[in-house]
Amino acid sequence: MRFTTSSVLLVAILAVAAAVRVWGLAFGLPHSQARPDESQIIDVTLNFLQGNFKPAFYDYPWLYMWVLTGLYVLYYVWGGMNGAFQGVAELVAAWPTDWAPFFLISRGLSAAAGVATVAVVYRLARKLWDEPTALVAALFMALAFIHVRDSHFGTTDVAMTLLMVTSVSLLVSAHAAGERRLFVLAGLFGGLATATKYNGAFLAAPFIVSQGKELASLGVAAALRAGGFTPPDVGPDGEYLRIGDRRVPLVKHRIGNVEQHTMLINFKAPALVRNAAGALETPYQSYGFNEIFGAEQDILEGKKPRLDPEIFKDKIVFVGLTASGLLDVFGTPMSTEENGSMPGIQLHASMTDSILANRFIRPGSTLSRVGSFGLAASVLARCSGCAPQASRSPVVVGEGASLPADTNARVTQRYPRLGAVR
C-alpha cells in the first residue's frame, strides 16, 4: 500500500493535534476546580450510574454525559477485572476521594473529539477548495489555541464543535451530490450537536441556502408572519422592498460580482438600556435557555413552572445567541462603551420591530449629502475662526507651563465658562 504525500502530511498533522491535546491533560489535578463545569458534568454522570435518569441539571443537554457514562462503565469493568470495584456503588463512592481518573476519562473524551475535529475540517476544506488548502486548514485547526485549550477540559464545547463541523461537512457533500441520505445524516449530526450543547440548534441556519431559493432573513420572515403578509404582498419596487402597504428603503452595494440590497435598521434602542433601578438590561424581554427548559421540566413533573407560559402568549419570540464569546455580536451606530455590541438575534428583533412599526431609515440623496457636507464644512470653518489665534512664537504647554496671559484673556472672553487655560 502506497502512501501519498498528502496522506503522510495529514497523519503528521493529526499526530501533532493529538500531542498538543494530550500533553498536560492532567493539569490542575489533584485540585478539582480548575474548570468547575467538569465537576458538574461528572456529578450528572454519576447520577446516571446510580439510576437517577432525570437529574435536576439543565445547563447542558445530556448527550455528552451519556457518552461519558458509557466510558465510566468500561472503567468499572476494567476495575472489576483488577479487583478495584466490587460493584457500581464502589465506583461512585470512589469519586469523592479518588477523583483523578474521573477527570482524566472525561478530558480524554474531549481531547479525542478535538483530534477528530481536525480530520473533519480537512475533509470539509478539501470538498470546498483543494488538497493544499485542506492541509493548511487542518494544521491551523490542530494548533488553534482556544480549541487546543478547550480540548483539555472535560466539557461539552469541543464535542459539540466536532458534531457541528461534521454536520456542515455532510451538508456540503449533500448539496454537491443532491443525495437525500446525506441531508438526513447532516440533520442527524446537527441534532446530536444540539443534544450536546444548546448552541448546536443554530446550525439550522445554513440549510436555507441549499435549494437555490430566495428566502427572507429571520427578522423579515418574523415580520411577514406576525403582520399576516402573504407572498403576493412582498416584492421589489425599484429601490424599495414592498411589504403590503410598507416600502422598505434598500441600499445597493456589490460584493465581488454579486449585487446585494440591504436594509438600514432603525434601532429602537441600543443593546442595553438602564431600567428604573439604574441597572443595564436588554430593551426586549429575554430569558435564558436553562430557565425555559427548566420550566418545561417543571410542567412535565406536575410542578408550578418557574416561568409562566403566559408570558409568551401573543408575543414574537426569537431564539438566538447572546454570549459575546460566541462572536455573534455586532457594533451598531448606537454602540457605546457602556452598552457594548448588539447580539445578532437582537438585530433581527430590531428589524422586525422596524418593519411592523413602519419606521425606516431612508438613504440620503446625492443633493442632501453634498448639502450636509457643505454645512459641516461651514460650521467647522466658523468654529476654527472662534479659536484663539496662535502665537507667532512657539509655546510649550506642559507641567509647570502656561499660555501667555493675553491668550488666556481672549479664551476667557470668548468662552467665559472655561475660565483661564492652564
Please report, as a single letter, which amino acid is at residue 265. Answer: I
CB-facing half-sphere around the CA of 280: CA atoms within 13 A: 9
Q: Is residue 154 part of a domain?
A: yes
- What is the predicted pLDDT for the residue at 397? 36
Say what the pTM is.
0.57
Q: Return the bridge partners of 280, or none.
A: 274
Closest CA to 186 of 160, 159, 166: 166
Q: Looking at 177, 209, 241, which one is the last position of a domain?
A: 209
Q: Is residue 283 part of a domain?
A: no
Q: Is residue 336 part of a domain?
A: no
CA distance linking residue 109 with residue 122, whole number of Å: 20
Q: Is residue 245 part of a domain?
A: no
Residue with cell 490542530: 142
Range 386-394, long-range pairs (CB < 8 A, 24+ positions): 386/414, 388/414
CA distance linking residue 364 with residue 239, whole number of Å: 13
Q: Looking at 193, 209, 225, which one is the last position of a domain?
A: 209
Cell of 76: 468499572
- What is the predicted pLDDT for the residue at 137? 93
Closest CA to 56 of 239, 287, 293: 293
Q: Is residue 195 part of a domain?
A: yes
- Number of structural domains the chain divides into: 2
Q: Which domain holds residue 66?
A: 5-209
Q: What is the mean pLDDT of each run of 10 residues along the chain (422 residues)?
A: 81 94 88 81 86 76 88 86 80 83 92 95 90 93 92 91 91 81 87 80 47 66 87 81 85 64 79 83 84 87 89 87 69 79 84 87 73 80 60 38 41 38 36
**Length of the chain measured in residues:** 422
The reply to whether omega before 30 is within 30° of 0 (cis) is yes
Q: Is residue 374 part of a domain?
A: yes
Question: In the chain, what is the greatest distance between 2 CA atoms, to the nearest angstrom?
Answer: 96
Give whole-number Cα distances, 133 to 130, 291, 413, in Å: 5, 43, 68
Q: Looking at 157, 190, 209, which one is the last position of a domain?
A: 209
Residues 27-83: pLDDT tens digits?
Answer: 888 887 777 888 888 888 888 888 887 777 777 788 898 899 999 889 888 887 877
Q: Is residue 262 part of a domain?
A: no
- What is the predicted pLDDT for the residue at 383? 73
CA distance linking residue 125 with residue 123, whole number of Å: 6
CA distance linking residue 124 with residue 245, whole number of Å: 45
Per-residue HEC secondary structure of the chain comes to CCCCHHHHHHHHHHHHHHHHHHCCCCCCCCCCCCCHHHHHHHHHHHHHHCCCCCCCCCCCCCHHHHHHHHHHHHHHHHHHHCCCCCCHHHHHHCCCCCCHHHHHHHHHHHHHHHHHHHHHHHHHHHHHCCHHHHHHHHHHHHCCHHHHHHCCCCCCHHHHHHHHHHHHHHHHHHHHHCCHHHHHHHHHHHHHHHHHCHHHHHHHHHHHHCCCCCCCCHHHHHHHHHHCCCHHHEEEECCEEEECCEEEEEEEEEECCEEEEEECCCCCCCCCEECCCCCEECCCCCCCHHHHHHHHHHHHCCCCCCCCHHHHCCCCCCCCCCCHHHCCEECCCCCCCCCCCEEHHHHHHHHHHHHHCCCCCCCCCHHHHHHHHHHHHHHHHHHHHHCCCCCCCCCCCCCCCCCCHHHHHHHHHHCCCCCCCC
Q: Is residue 338 part of a domain?
A: no
Cell of 102: 474521573
Answer left, alpha or beta for residue 238, where phi above 0 means left and psi between -120 and 50 means alpha: left
CA distance linking residue 200 with residue 161, whole number of Å: 8
